[in-house]
Amino acid sequence: MKAQTKQSYVWSLIEEGRKRFPEQHPFMKLLYDGKLTLDQLKGWAINRYYFHSHIPEKEAAIAANCPPDVRQLWIEKLIEEAGEKGKPSHPDLWLRFCKDLGLSKEQVMKAEVLPAVRMAVDGYLNIARYRPWMVGVAGSLTEHLVPKRMEKMIETFKKHYPFVTEEGMTFFKEHMVADVEHGELTIDIVEKYSHAPEAQVQIREGYFYKIDMHRVILDAVYFEYVLKKQLKLPP
């Protein structure tokens, strides 16, 4: 079989991930159709915060493990995620969204998240800490897909959930811009380092773990806040 170029390998991988990403998950379909209750939105938001709150830590772990040429670029990504010069961090922007759902900062930060969510997110963080640095970087290939999803989320809130204010949607607006840059940065790094078969194995591991993590989060949230009620299961 003819060897793939770095570019063809990366973009074919991204396309494979696009098909695998749980964009058509039943919970997301309910969200996009405006059929979630406020309590269901709150449950989703609280569990998503656990993911967002660990991203700066994940980026710091990658920056500590990667080569110097990548580290300089990744630190800029870390700073943007963690906030700088008075600008709120991305976890803080998510908390502002939660405020529009009627959740206080303390309620979100002190909430007990679902076990599957905790395990999936902790696993993602541990990948960045303990696996080869390329595995951690490759997880961010999903950010190439984020801007269009953020645009769809904003349209959904405006149409179906009018209690979400313009300020509350800042998280989604910021990611429409930031993840264009983050996605391009990750693709450039992966293209540069994906020529070796071992690196390609690591890239697939990190990229698909991230995609599957999102599915696990949605599965857990859907079961807890939608299916259990429909099936009349005990809490």
- Asked whether residue 218 is domain-assigned, the answer is yes
In-domain check, residue 10: no
Amino acid at 155: E
Question: Is 198 within the bounds of a domain?
Answer: yes
Per-residue pLDDT reduced to its tens digit, 70-114: 999 999 889 888 887 778 999 999 999 999 999 999 999 999 999
DSSP string, 119-176: HHHHHHHHHHHHS-HHHHHHGGGGGGGHHHHHHHHHHHHHHH-TTS-TTTTHHHHHHH
User: What confidence tier does 205 reach under pLDDT thresholds 50, 70, 90?
Assistant: very high
The parent domain of residue 217 ranges over 24-229
Among 68, 63, 20, 8, CA closest to 191: 8
Burial class (CB in 10 A: 0-12, 13-18, 19+), 31: buried
Look at residue 207 and tell me if it is in a domain.
yes
HSE, side-chain direction, 13 A CA sphere, residue 3 = 7
- Is 143 part of any domain? yes
The pTM of this model reads 0.92
* Domain contains 154: yes
Q: pLDDT tens, 138-196?
A: 999 999 889 999 999 999 999 999 999 999 999 999 999 887 888 899 999 999 999 89
Cα gap 69→55, rounded to integer Å: 21
User: What pLDDT sits at residue 3?
Assistant: 42
Count structural domains, the chain: 1
Q: Is 2 helix (H, G, I), strand (E, B) or coil?
A: coil
Residue 7: band (very low, low, confident or very high) from pLDDT cuts 50, 70, 90: low
Task: Please name which of 27, 14, 12, 7 lies closest in space to residue 142, comparing C-alpha atoms.
Answer: 14
For residue 103, what pLDDT is reported?
A: 98
